[in-house]
Amino acid sequence: MTLRNEAPGPPTGLPRKIVVVTGAARGQGAAEARSLAAAGAHVVALDVADTPAEALGDTTEYRRHDVTDRAAWASLATDMRNRFGRIDGLVNNAGITWRARLLDVDVADLERVHAVNLVGPVLAIQACAPLMPRGSSIVNVGSVAALTGHVPVAYTTSKWALRGLTRVACLELGPRGIRVNAVHPGYIETPMTASASPAFRDGNVTETPLGRTGTVDEVAALVTFLIGDGSSYVSGAEIPVDGGMTAHGGVKSIADGLAAASDDPSPIPSAVIDETDVPHQRHCLP
């Protein structure tokens, strides 16, 4: 069946877009670089490692880069201006963690984490935004720690601050036609989460309605969409990629306990209302 007057769908792919991705040597950042490259972008992958630990895609160039170094950002911006004349996308993915709790954390460690997770994105935006034409996009990679009171205080406060930066950048850069969004991964199988205790992994799975951990490719797909023109009216959004973990506000443990205590483990109540027993109301226009 042929539909007439069918509106065209949103643009797909990222042909000829120049996209900068930080923290791209491995894990989540490497997956984002591959996904963006597969969609047609020319990706400039940055990380502090001398060489990437994973393949990054045929249209990806890699360079060693410290996101906390203002001079390095100035150098990158000059190179991008001279070679391409623009930057179409920026993915602030680089991040580090430190698992000390509130009463134990050293201020030096707090500052070190914030330098990478917050100051790095600020410097990146300051360097890249002047080169970004209308229709460009910035994606900040946060964490579900920024949606909760997660116990590693340095990491959690840095990601909450990144949420604030996302909102401010959305407001400040919107008149330039630059979109700014944040994605908040849950427990994703990465080198960072692999260093956590098994109890942390198990606890996350228990609190996740989908009952599993996520993959780097599932996050990368959303990042690629937000960089592309198909999300041209999406700005200021904060999107969890967490299997539903932050949606229930801690109620899942209660629901699971109720189900375990009942004879019927199904979360669907056994007592349902029969619509035929409920008087129908007539809805009329005033």
How many C-beta atoms lie closer than 10 Å to residue 173's C-beta?
18
pLDDT tens figures, 250-266: 878 877 877 888 765 55
Domain assignment present for residue 185? The answer is: yes
Amino acid occupying residue 39: A
Q: Would residue 179 count as lying in a domain?
A: yes
146 lies in some domain: yes
Quick: pLDDT tens for 122-179.
999 999 999 999 999 999 999 999 999 989 999 999 999 999 999 999 999 999 999 9
Residue 11 inside a domain? The answer is no
Whether the per-residue pLDDT at 240 is higher than 90: the answer is: yes
Rounded to an integer, what distance in angstroms lies between the CA atom of residue 263 and that of residue 96?
Answer: 45
The helix/strand/coil state of 51 is coil
Catalytic site residue 155? yes
Range of the domain at 111: 18-261
In a domain, 276, yes or no: no
For residue 251, tell me if it sits in a domain.
yes
pLDDT band for 267, please (50, 70, 90 cuts). low
The three-state (H, E, C) secondary structure of 69-121, written as one string: CHHHHHHHHHHHHHHCCCCCEEEECCCCCCCCCCCCCCHHHHHHHHHHHHHHH
Least confident range of 23-32, 152-161, 240-249, 270-279: 270-279
Cα separation, 134 vs 156, in Å, equals 32
Whole-number pLDDT of residue 250: 83
The percent of residues above 70 in pLDDT, for the chain, comes to 87
Distance of alpha carbon 79 from alpha carbon 56, whole angstroms: 21
Kindly report, residue by residue over 3-24, the tens digit of the pLDDT: 444 444 445 579 999 999 999 9
* Mean pLDDT for all residues in the chain: 89
User: So what's the pLDDT on residue 253?
Assistant: 81
CB atoms within 10 A of CB 201: 15
Q: Does residue 107 fall inside a structural domain? A: yes
CATH number for the domain that contains residue 129: 3.40.50.720
> In this model, does residue 283 exceed pLDDT 70?
no
Q: Answer whether residue 175 is part of any domain.
A: yes
Residue 264, pLDDT score: 56
82-114: buried (b, 16+ CB within 10 Å) or exposed (e) per residue?
eeeeebbbbbbbbbbbebbeeeebeeeebebbb
- Cα separations in angstroms, 120 against 68, 117, 126, 129, 282: 5, 6, 10, 14, 59
Q: 216's torsion region: left (phi>0), alpha (psi -120 to 50) or beta?
A: alpha
Over residues 196-214, the mean pLDDT reads 92
Model confidence, pTM: 0.86
Residue 209's CB: how many other CB atoms inside 10 A?
A: 14
Q: Does residue 91 register a pLDDT over 50?
A: yes
HSE value, Cβ hemisphere, 13 Å, CA-based, for 99: 6
Instruction: Say how many domains are in the chain.
Output: 1
pLDDT given at position 131: 98
Q: How many CB atoms lie within 10 A of CB 160?
A: 18
